Amino acid sequence: MENRVEMKFPIVQFNGCRQIGPPRKFIGELPGKDSELFVCRIPKTFTEIELMPILEKFGEVFQFRLMMDYSNMNRGYGYVVYQSPDQATKALELIPHHITNSGVCLDVKRSYDKCRLFVGNLPRDLDSEVIKNTLQRIYPDMCNFIIHTRPNDGYKNRGFAFIDFPNHQAALISKKKHGSGALKLWERDIKVVWAKEERVVDPDIMTYVKTLFIRNIAPGTKARDFEAYICKFVSKQDDLVKCTLVRDFAFVEFTTKAIALNARDKITQTKFKGNSLSAEWALPPSSNGIHDLRKLYDYDSLLKIKCVANDWNMPIFIFGRLYHDINIQYVAVVVRNSPVECVILMEINTVLVPNVHQRAAEVMVKLIERCKGLPAYNLIIKTHGNDFKILGFTFESNLNFRLSETEFVYDLNEIVELAYAAHIICQTSPRLIHFSYQQALSFSLTYSYIHSIGTPHRILGCIPLTYRRSPPWQTKGNYPDYTILLALCDKGSRTNYQYPENPIRLPVAISALDSPERWNLFFAVNLSVVKNKQGSKEDEGLLECHNGSIG
């Protein structure tokens, strides 16, 4: 492997940086900053031999810089430059979910040049112009100066400022002027360090932002006065959508991005009531905020991303019998990693679970994260509330079970039927299964079944991926969605909720697992949609197959 890397990329090491690349036979334009990613959480023992195959898996690498310490071990982070922004975007989406041979996942973020220094411990009674002129003499390459006022307590500033430089090299040289990080000014030690990293927002999202964040507004300013002042920077008043003033800052929304950009350039460094205003783009809500809960808890998409990142086949969900009276649904999930198949059999308690499909996907995601890959055994799992417990496992080659003698499933026969159906599916080629599934759905019939695959007493009903009017799976890499949703129906009723006889609860007492583990789930439950006034089954979140269609 080392020879392969060295044959393709020159490798040099200098100033604590091991640089791999650019490729020896590279032809084309040099990639820009939007093609660079920051890679962290790298195990200390990893070298380019382990890292380059992972990075090249998701795009063509132009250059990789691995930071090294004095003992020639890596410092846990590095920078990778891909040959195009699209490849960098793909790597940004998939690398955090790729599980390495050692069971760890690397983390990647958008890379940015450090061009801003933080200047602290400034005298609060000094005028901002005095501070700016003094720092300008010390740092002649300084291109921007930011300082904020104290609107309420009478001080002229908040005791700190930010200074920007045209590039990272200029900022680094300026910072190294004071090796200790302290500058002696105004009879005090002025702190000069790197400014903290700002939250990086996807450039695709920022193209839609039309709101400006304006700060350093004079204390006591009335909202209508400030709005009237902002209207001077637009051609007509209708271009301004909303102006929200909060203490000494404001959020101003415009009708279009172009109008907002023009206003930003005009507002910056203008003075309003004696204060120099600062205007910049407002950042959208954080991805872990309440505004993004739907995306945050989309475990189905998260499971698909993990499958793509690790070259696994897309999951196959098989929904077994549904028992309304006791709120139980049986589900099997099959994930194939040729030549190994992983089958997880579940008894899901549906109380306060708005979406059984998402709960099954959540269990799979938690198992993959805990096991650092697909589980080594085909597991039998029981969920209740926000917990799930491993009851036992099945052998790969047959349908023999090993269960904990203190825990029982309600319908052991259904577990066996699901295991048998999963076994049949695992014996069939993925291409044939997907073709049969798509062909059955293409007829646009109310009842869609795969007659060529099934068990002696059951038949597989086909469920379209849009059964809950879900939007198509959207990713930056536009990966195809080969997920398959099936319902294990009785041949007589052609449903998974009508069956000829009630199950018998079997008191199984076979050699138990030593210590079945219990893990916590974090599925978001919206109680307001658990059941509507009419008690519709769709709002109960229960997945059914009504004669081959979905209720």
The verdict on 355 and 486 lying in the same domain is yes
Pairing of strands 340-349, 328-337: antiparallel
- Which structural domain range is residue 384 located in? 299-510
CB atoms within 10 A of CB 227: 17
Q: Examine the domain organization and report whether 448 and 482 are in the same domain.
A: yes
Cβ atoms of 171 and 163 within 8 Å: the answer is no
Region label for 36, one of left (φ > 0), alpha (ψ between -120 and 50) or beta (otherwise) = beta
Half-sphere exposure (CA, 13 Å, Cβ side) for 115? 13
Query: What are the distances in angstroms from CA 231 to CA 226, 237, 251, 538?
Result: 9, 6, 14, 49
Residue 551 in contact with residue 325, Cβ under 8 Å?
no
> Of the residues 228, 249, 281, which one is the last residue of a structural domain?
281
Residue 179 near residue 278, CB atoms below 8 Å: no
Q: Are 123 and 183 in the same domain?
A: yes
* pLDDT tens-place string over residues 274-296: 777 888 888 876 544 333 333 44
Q: Which of 474, 491, 510 is the last residue of a domain?
A: 510
Provide the pLDDT confidence category of residue 408 given band limits of 50, 70 and 90: low
What's the whole-number mean pLDDT along residues 235-261?
84
For residues 148 and 224, the answer to whether their CB atoms sit within 8 Å is: no
Instruction: Determine which helix (DSSP H) or strand (DSSP E) holds 163, and give its type and residue range.
Output: strand 160-164
pTM exceeds cut of 0.75:
no
Query: In terms of domains, do 276 and 320 share one?
Result: no
Do 177 and 220 share a structural domain?
A: no
pLDDT value for 290: 34
- 207 and 66 both lie in a single domain: no
252/280 Cα distance (integer angstroms):
10
In the predicted model, what is the mean pLDDT of residues 106-117?
Answer: 86
Q: Among the listed ranges 183-192, 347-356, 518-527, which one has the minimum average pLDDT value?
A: 518-527
Tally of domains within the chain: 4
Q: pLDDT grade, residue 304 (50/70/90)?
A: very high
Residue 82 forms part of a structural domain: yes
Q: What is the CATH number of the domain that holds 215?
A: 3.30.70.330
Q: Are residues 337 and 221 in the same domain?
A: no
Domain boundary pick from 85, 110, 135: 110
Residue 534, domain member (yes or no):
no
Q: How many CB atoms lie within 10 A of CB 510?
A: 11
**Shared domain check, 389 and 335:** yes
The strand pairing partners of 278, in sequence order, are 215
Closest CA relative to residue 171, chosen from 147, 194, 189:
194
**Domain presence at residue 538:** no
78 and 175 housed in the same domain: no
**Co-location of 247 and 311 in the same domain:** no
Q: What is the pLDDT of residues 453-500, one digit of tens each?
A: 777 778 999 988 877 666 666 666 678 888 999 999 988 888 888 776
Q: What pLDDT is stored for residue 446 in this prediction? A: 66
- Specify the higher pLDDT residue, 177 or 108: 108
Give 427: exposed, middle or buried? Use CB within 10 Å, 0-12, 13-18, 19+: exposed
Q: Are 357 and 501 within one domain? A: yes
Task: Determine the Cα–Cα distance for residues 314 and 77; give it in Å rounded to an integer.
Answer: 31
Distances (CA, A) of 63 to 57, 74, 90, 169: 14, 17, 16, 19
Residues 355 and 499 in one domain: yes
Residue type, 431: R
